[in-house]
Structure formats: structure tokens, C-alpha cells
Amino acid sequence: MYIKRTKIIATIGPSSFDRKILKKMIEAGMNVARLNFSHGEYSVHAEVIKNIREISKELDTEIGIMADLQGPRIRVGNAKEFRINAGEIILVSDIKIVSGKKELLIDSPGVVEAICIGERILIEDGLIELGVVKKAGKTALARVIRGGMVKPRKGINVPDTKLHFGAITEKDEVDLKFALEKNVDFVALSFVSNSQEVIKVREQIRKILKNGAILPQIISKIERKGALKNLDEIIEVSDAIMVARGDLGIETDESKVVILQKEIIARCLCFVKPVIVATQMLDSMIRNPIPTRAEVADVSNAVIDHADAVMLSGESASGNYPIEAVAAMKNIIVSTEESPFDDTVPELLDNEMIFDYAATIHAAHELAKSSKAKAIAFFTFSGKTARMMSHHRPQQLILAATDNLKVYNQLSLIWGVDSYLIDVEKNHETAIRKMIELAKKEKKLTSGDKVVIIIGRVARNEAIKLVKLKKVE
């Protein structure tokens, strides 16, 4: 029985709110549910979280929940749509001005003031493009380079402009409090530019929770030019990274997005941080029951590059085939992982690691390969051992036992990790033994299989003492 290693994140929306559909999506291969706080009422998000927790318990499987904060999204502020044509000069402002000219209203104060002559204004994923030709305080004149219909609330990007919004708005702060009250496992930050923004949000989370519990993990979304310049420092302070290709393709040359994706994944592997590839992976499945061949290739390439997870957005949130989209993504992942093209690339993964017990993890992986073991098993308090072992992308099953529900759900994001929630009063060996018994019942292991076991002392820093080889009885 082959077990999928690359994880699937699915965005939950009107097409997938229903409890029965959520259950079928989990059964089809969904590992993490994403709640997009750019849309939806709190009452709906609360119901989805409740249903996922209940289904997760019912199916005895870890399902992580991600709260994706909107961030400083800039939008069209006009109440009515209007057409602009190439060559026209229009007024750009953040307040309504009666000037006799067509006027583009930007809903975020400070943006127009920050824009300089020669910089671009992109509307609706870059379909419409303006170039600023004149500035006068808090207003600007812009020439229409690529025209079209300007629609209310559509997204605006200013890729050439230096903005100083930070990664969290007043709306985000309210959304964050709600998400923490609902005990989400991950918080995704949109439009991150530097490490200080991530550190600030982590401090806010600590202040809100105040109980010393394991915090939700912070996922930094890479979608700004500034983020690329500060990539290493952002990865270092984040728990995981999302390659958010939508805005990234607007902020940068779209022809370079796939190269940037590969570079970001490679850097995350160096830092031993989970990495997600997102946006339009199976976009045609919003309308069609099967993906295009190009979309199949896109998902396969993310798997070959060793992404921890791939993500569905509109496909599962508002599309006609949310269950089929998850199933299709799983089939692509499995086919790719079973091929030789998904083999580990040593020069990519053999980077120096900063943790004291990295050598022990490496030794356990080498023992698993040389002994032809079926699995590598261990107990983890925080998930760190799981991330370290996943870094090696072993061919063996990665079986992780934990006694913490938050860690159990957070392991849902890490490549190859199959986690078990086992409360055995901090006794590692008993927990591992029980986990192996459960894996045997699930037919993941059979009598005679070899398992490499990593045993550490009972302490929060997980200092490891022993690696041993055991046969399943």
C-alpha cells in the first residue's frame, strides 16, 4: 500500500462548506483546510472549524486548519465599474475628487502618496496597466497602457512602489483574535516583506494566548518583490513558507515565477522549513471535472522539487468539483512520487543543519537505507524531529507519535509524516510500540518489517540518546 507523501491543502469556501463534502475531501486526500479571511463570515468559519475537528476525530486522522489573513490588500475603491482605454490619462487618488477626468480610487490611504512618476499600477491580476506620469501630493495622473473595465473591489498591485504597511492590518488583528479563539493550527501572513513583520505577529499571538501553550505556526506568503530580497531572513523566523504565485507573478516578471518557485523551495529545504506551492495549480477544475495536461505537469514539478505541500484555492472553494480536484491532485502526487524523478537530490538536501542532534537524524536515515527498513519511528514533543527527518525525504514511512493535539495537527503539513496522537505519560518507548501496533492494524506495517526507532530523553528540547533497529512482531 503506497502512502502519499506530499501534503494537500484545500481552501474551504461555498463549494465545500457542507459537512459531507468536507468528509469526502478528507477521504480523497486533503491534509490541511485553508480558511481565507478575505471572504466569509465568522459564523461560517466557526462551523467549518467545528465540522473539520469532528470529522478528523471520527476518521482518526490529523487535519490541520490554516487561517489565511488578508493582509494589506489594495483594492479599487470606485463604487461603479467604468472603462478606460489605452492612451487615456486618468486621475488616481484615495479620495473622490471632482476633476472632469476619469478617476481611479484606491481604497488604501498612503498608496498614492508613495507612488512615484514612472511606476506602474496594475489592476485585476495585471489585466489593466497604468503608468504614473505626474504627481501632485496625494493625487497622481496616470497613462493607461493596457485598458479594460475597472470593476469595484478588484485587486491593485504597485510592484515598483515601496510601501510601509506592515504585514497585518486592523482587520487582520480582529481576524487573528477570532482564529486563535478557535485554536487554529496555522496562521498565514499575506504580503510579508521582512522578518520583523513575522516577529511582530508572533509577539501578538503570544500576548493574545497568554497561556504558554504551543503556538499556531506562522506561514509567510512570498508574493512581494521585497520578500525576495529578504527571503533568507523571512524563512529563518517563519515556521513555513508559501510560494503565493498569484501576486508574485504580478509583482515580478511572470516568466520568472517558476524559477523563483524552485529557488524558494531550495532555500526552504536548506533551512529545514516546510514549503507550500499555491495558486492556479488545477485552475481549470473550477469549471471542468478533469485537469489540463499543463496543470498535471505543474503539480508534478512541485512534487519533484520536493515541496512539502501543494494547494488548491478556487478549485475547492468555489469550483464545481472540489472533491474531484483533491482526488486529481492526489493521483498526480502518487504517480510522481512513485517515479524515479522524485528521488532525493543529495546536493540539494545535504546542507549543514543547525540543530545539535542533526547527526543522529542523519544516522537514523542511513541505517534505514542500509537495513532496507520499512519505516522510521519516533516520539516528538514539538514536531522538530519530524521536520528534521522529513528534510532527508526518506523512502521509508515516517511514523511520528505525539501526545499534543496541536503538534498532531501541525504535522499534517510536513512532507511524508504520518502522525499518531498517543498519550502514554511521556514514555517514548511505550508510545512508539503502541504506534507500531496501530500501523500494523492499518496494514502500513506487517510482521517481519524492519523499523528504525529514534529514542530521546523526556524533555522539551528532544535531545536524542539512541537509534536502534527493530523487527515488527
Quick: pLDDT tens for 273-282: 999 999 999 9
For residue 264, pLDDT over 60 is answered with yes
What are the tens digits of pLDDT across the range 151-192?
998 889 998 988 877 778 999 999 999 999 999 999 999 999
Average pLDDT over residues 22-40: 96
What are the tens digits of pLDDT across the range 248-259?
999 888 899 999
> What is the sign of the dihedral through the CA atoms of 230, 235, 237 and 238?
positive
**Residues of the chain above pLDDT 70, percent:** 93
> Which segments within 147-228 are labelled E, that is strand?
148-150, 155-157, 186-189, 217-222
Domains and their CATH numbers in the chain? 7-71+166-338 (3.20.20.60), 74-157 (2.40.33.10), 352-471 (3.40.1380.20)
Sheet strand arrangement including 155-157: 74-75, 155-157, 120-123, 128-136, 139-146, 89-93, 103-105
345: pLDDT confidence band, cut at 50, 70 and 90? Answer: low
pLDDT at position 348 is 41
Catalytically active residues are 34, 75, 221, 279
Q: Enumerate residues 6+ apart whose C-beta is below 8 A from 144.
A: 84, 85, 86, 87, 88, 89, 90, 128, 129, 130
Q: Is the separation of the CB atoms in 242 and 220 below 8 Å?
A: yes
For residue 462, pLDDT over 80 is answered with no
Cα–Cα separations (whole angstroms), residue 139 to 96, 120, 388: 10, 15, 52
C-alpha span between 309 and 174 (Å, rounded): 28
Average pLDDT over residues 236-247: 96
Q: What would the 3-class secondary structure string for 405-450 be?
A: HHHHHHHHHCCCEEEEECCCCCCHHHHHHHHHHHHHHCCCCCCCCE
User: DSSP 3-state assignment of 284?
Assistant: helix
342: pLDDT confidence band, cut at 50, 70 and 90? Answer: low
pLDDT at position 343 is 65
Q: Is the separation of the CB atoms in 217 and 240 below 8 Å?
A: yes
Q: Is the separation of the CB atoms in 46 and 182 below 8 Å?
A: yes
Eight-state DSSP code of residue 213: P
C-alpha span between 185 and 234 (Å, rounded): 20
C-alpha span between 85 and 69 (Å, rounded): 34
Q: Is the separation of the CB atoms in 421 and 407 below 8 Å?
A: no
pLDDT at position 162 is 85
pLDDT at position 19 is 97
The mean of the pLDDT values for the chain is 91
Q: Is the separation of the CB atoms in 73 and 190 below 8 Å?
A: yes
For residue 446, pLDDT over 80 is answered with yes
Average pLDDT over residues 308-318: 97
For residue 202, pLDDT over 60 is answered with yes
pLDDT at position 458 is 44
C-alpha span between 122 and 158 (Å, rounded): 6
The pTM of the whole model exceeds 0.75: yes
Low-confidence winner among 91-105, 200-214, 229-243, 455-469 (lowest mean pLDDT) = 455-469
Q: Is the separation of the CB atoms in 380 and 358 below 8 Å?
A: no
457: pLDDT confidence band, cut at 50, 70 and 90? Answer: low
C-alpha span between 78 and 56 (Å, rounded): 43
Unique residue bearing C-alpha cell 471520527: 58
